[in-house]
Structure 1
Amino acid sequence: MPDPEILDPTVEFARYRRTVLAEVVVPGPAAVRRTVRSRRRRRWAALVAAVLALFTGPTLGYVALHRPEPRPGPVLPAPEPTGTPTPGGPVTPTGSPTPTGAAPTTPPDGRIGRNELLATTVTLPGWPAGAQCRTGGVRLTADGHEGQNALLAVDHGDVDADGAQETVALVQCVFGTHGWQQVVAFDRDVAGRIVTVGRVVVSARERPQWLIGMQVRGDGVVRVQVGDIYPGGGWAGEWSQRQWRGYRWDGGSFRQVSGPTGFPPNPHEVNLVVTATDLVLGVAPDGSRAGNTTVRVRNTGTGPARAVALRFDLPVALRPDGDGWAACRTAPATTGGPVRCELGALAPGAEFRLVLGLRVAADDPLGAGTAELTAQALDAGHRIVAEVVEFDNVTPLPYR
């Protein structure tokens, strides 16, 4: 068996260089540079791939395990049913959706100046029967022309609690010597036109006859100063009883929420009428002269008199005499000067009738003449109450 051939590595490598390297073409400088760049890119790509494999491999696996379910796509509206729906439970109605981007509703500003109110036609609530003033297409005036609606006062405030101010005006229908009055609230609509909210209060044939002033409080209550009797025709304004009453808007009308709802009797509504018969003096057994006069006091007014006082302006020689004077609350003076007799209350339509005696001393030469009798109403403080008609409070008292 032949011995195996033993190869010498040195000899074999020498043979390889002789046969292979002879076929190798040595590259130029440009080829060398391209080769270097290509090798660098491959090394960087391999390095980045290794880093990503090292760090992102576990992370991507974790995310894959915990990834949420994909969101569902938009749901298309279901088609309207064509058959009769099956009865079910109660359905809660929903309001209309607010348009996207719509601005919040802002109440119109109802603050109207006096000049603008005078320059614009307005609508007024109805006047009491008999008032000859217009209500529609009214042009308010600044003065009191007969048959016109005069603007007396203006104030502003949020009377309907909408967050914006309104205008409150005191208006008078000028007619004759009286003139009805009312307090009216105005506002603006969304187009800026003046509109009427409603009537706060109106004067009345009975009470109150007089609307004196008004103001709007911060809480929206309209305060109106009212008087029981309108001045004029001999009635002085200071005789009227005055009150402040508050009114609030309830969504449909104004109603009174504060202040009195009525007036007590006005002391100036008394109208006393007094008459007296002639005094005829006859001779008494003792030589003096005496006689009687019948005095009648009637209350023809609409208010009661708390008390009535009679004043006799007599000559000094003519003095009270007899039991008729017992009706007086205090005994009348018997010497010199006027004689006063105070009586009690006198209701409307009632009267006092007194028979009063007077006497002259025997040695007094008093002749015929005329005294004077006055009837006066008194208040709770015993002060004299003035009357509209005063000429009938006094009557002559002839004596002879």
Structure 2
Amino acid sequence: MPERETSLLVEEFDRYRRTLLTEIVAPGPAAVRRTVRLRHRNRLIAAATTALALLTGPAVGYAALHEPAPRPGPVDPTPSVTPSPTPTGSAGPAPTPSASSTSPTPTPPDGRISRSQLLGTPVTLPAWRAGPGCPTTGARLTGDGREGTNHLLAVDHGDVDSDGAAETVALVRCALGTGGPQQVVVFDRDADGRVVTVGRVVASTIDTPQWLIAMEVRDDGVVRVQVGDIHPGGGWPGDWSQRQWRGYRWDGDSFGQVSGPTAFGPNPHRADIAVTATDLVLADGPDGSRTGSVTVVVRNTGDVPVPYVALRLDLPAALRPDGDGWAACRNDPDTTGRPVTCDLGRLDVGKERRLTLGFRAAAGAGVGAGTAEVDVRPMDEGFDFLPDVDPGNNTVRIDYR
């Protein structure tokens, strides 16, 4: 440092020391005066510092280049911003995300198919039971039930396979005459929008149920089908059939019943009676007439009692009822003409009625030999005929001579 600059610096520090010493006072009543003087001293120090800076700037700057940096003091905390983690070379490989967390679940196709779309689209149906001639592959459903076609009776929609999308449930009949077998079938769409067949829910049978009446899909995916034990037709009105609601659920491969009855009890309108009879052999009487008798046995071989039984004997009109055996009839057989009829009362299950019915041909009637039918038919309380389970044993042929 030049000698002159050193001298000036020493003089300024000496002047500063003398000024500071003159401002120091003892504590006591003069505190107010000290405060005023301190304020005056501060102004003097500020002025001295300014002059010192002008004189010693180059010297202070030179010393700062050679002295060690001061120890850092405390600082106010800075709000931290958490940066995104940056992988380092030492870190292991990042785990590969699973397919379930990265791949979106495919949206199931919409299987809601309208009635008009079903009628206009070839479909594949589960096979009909042996015998019917209705098509199953590439079949067109019809809305009018033409003979030999697959008649679309009803349509409903619901999520039956729990995939989150609705499927289409259809009640279809193979139209054969006034009846024909039926089945409930579920349709869906594939990823390309084509109509595909999921499976059959239930089908009618030769035994029971013979009749599928209605169906619906519940919110839980169960397909409910109303079934009847006997299909109407052939003299059997629909209100004679017993009806049940049965529920079916898809298990991933097929439909199985999960609710409702599994069998029908005896139908009170479904009788089964049988008849046997002996031949009629006529003998000549003293007055020239000819007489003989037929032994008829009527049995109830069904599961329900029969309120009434109609017995009919198709013998020649010249042979008229004769004797006390006809007292069991509720009607007057002699007034019925040909054939002769006899209405019998209630016949319980497993019971039989044995009748010995006499006939007489008047003298000169000229009754020859031949065959005749004897048949029985069950009736309800209103004397309406009931269909018989086995009509083949309701009739027997006898000889008369």
Given the two structures, how large is their TM-score scaled by the length of structure 1?
0.57
Inter-partner Cα distance in structure 2 for 1:339 and 1:150: 44
The 3-state SS of whatever aligns with 1:59 is coil
Native 8 Å contact 2:112 2:188 kept in 1: yes
Aligned-CA RMSD value = 5.4
Inter-partner Cα distance in structure 2 for 1:160 and 1:148: 29
Residues 59 and 275 of structure 1: is their aligned pair in 2 closer, same or farther, counting only changes over 3 Å?
same
Which residue identity is paired with 1:160? D
Question: 1:188-217: CA deviations, max 9, x gaps?
Answer: 223322222211101112221221221222
Residue 341 of structure 1 deviates from its aligned partner by 4.9
Residue 345 of structure 1 deviates from its aligned partner by 2.6
Residues 112 and 342 of structure 1: is their aligned pair in 2 closer, same or farther, counting only changes over 3 Å?
same
Which residue identity is paired with 1:74? P
Q: Confirm or deny that 1:121 pairs with 2:134.
A: no
Native 8 Å contact 2:273 2:376 kept in 1: no
Inter-partner Cα distance in structure 1 for 2:209 and 2:161: 25
Native 8 Å contact 1:274 1:375 kept in 2: no
Inter-partner Cα distance in structure 1 for 2:120 and 2:83: 69
Inter-partner Cα distance in structure 2 for 1:70 and 1:392: 96
The 3-state SS of whatever aligns with 1:58 is coil
Q: Confirm or deny that 1:270 pairs with 2:272.
A: yes
Native 8 Å contact 1:376 1:384 kept in 2: no
Matched with 2:87 is 74
Match of 1:59 among 72, 75, 87: 75
Inter-partner Cα distance in structure 1 for 2:123 and 2:164: 23
Residue 78 of structure 1 deviates from its aligned partner by 5.7
The 3-state SS of whatever aligns with 2:146 is coil
Which residue identity is paired with 1:168? V
The 3-state SS of whatever aligns with 1:268 is coil
Inter-partner Cα distance in structure 2 for 1:272 and 1:384: 18
Inter-partner Cα distance in structure 1 for 2:111 and 2:331: 69
Number of matched residues?
Answer: 310
**Equivalences for 1:242-281 in 2 at 5 Å?**
242-266=243-267, 267-273=269-275
Residue 250 of structure 1 deviates from its aligned partner by 2.2
Native 8 Å contact 2:123 2:139 kept in 1: yes
Bigger drift between 171-180 and 244-253 goes to 171-180
**Equivalences for 1:1-400 in 2 at 5 Å?**
57-59=73-75, 63=77, 73-75=86-88, 95-96=98-99, 98-99=101-102, 105-175=106-176, 178-266=179-267, 267-273=269-275, 293-297=294-298, 303-307=302-306, 309=309, 321=324, 341-342=344-345, 344-347=347-350, 352-355=353-356, 375=376, 377=378, 386-387=386-387
Q: What are the ranges of 5 or more consecutive residues in structure 1 without an aligned counterpart? A: 1-38, 44-55, 80-92, 284-289, 360-366, 396-400
Inter-partner Cα distance in structure 1 for 2:141 and 2:187: 13
Inter-partner Cα distance in structure 2 for 1:137 and 1:292: 64
Question: 1:239-266: CA deviations, max 9, x gaps?
Answer: 3332221112222221112222112233
Inter-partner Cα distance in structure 2 for 1:391 and 1:255: 36
Inter-partner Cα distance in structure 2 for 1:184 and 1:120: 15
Inter-partner Cα distance in structure 1 for 2:178 and 2:331: 46
The 3-state SS of whatever aligns with 2:116 is helix
Inter-partner Cα distance in structure 1 for 2:197 and 2:284: 77
Native 8 Å contact 1:248 1:255 kept in 2: yes
Residues 312 and 158 of structure 1: is their aligned pair in 2 closer, same or farther, counting only changes over 3 Å?
closer
Q: What are the ranges of 5 or more consecutive residues in structure 2 without an aligned counterpart? A: 1-49, 55-71, 286-290, 314-320, 336-340, 366-373, 397-401
Inter-partner Cα distance in structure 1 for 2:134 and 2:148: 6
Inter-partner Cα distance in structure 1 for 2:154 and 2:204: 15
Inter-partner Cα distance in structure 2 for 1:333 and 1:233: 27
Residue 144 of structure 1 deviates from its aligned partner by 2.2
Residues 239 and 72 of structure 1: is their aligned pair in 2 closer, same or farther, counting only changes over 3 Å?
closer
Identity of aligned residues (%): 50
Question: 1:290-339: CA deviations, max 9, x gaps?
Answer: 9865223256xx844514546799xxxx89748x97xx7xx9899x9998
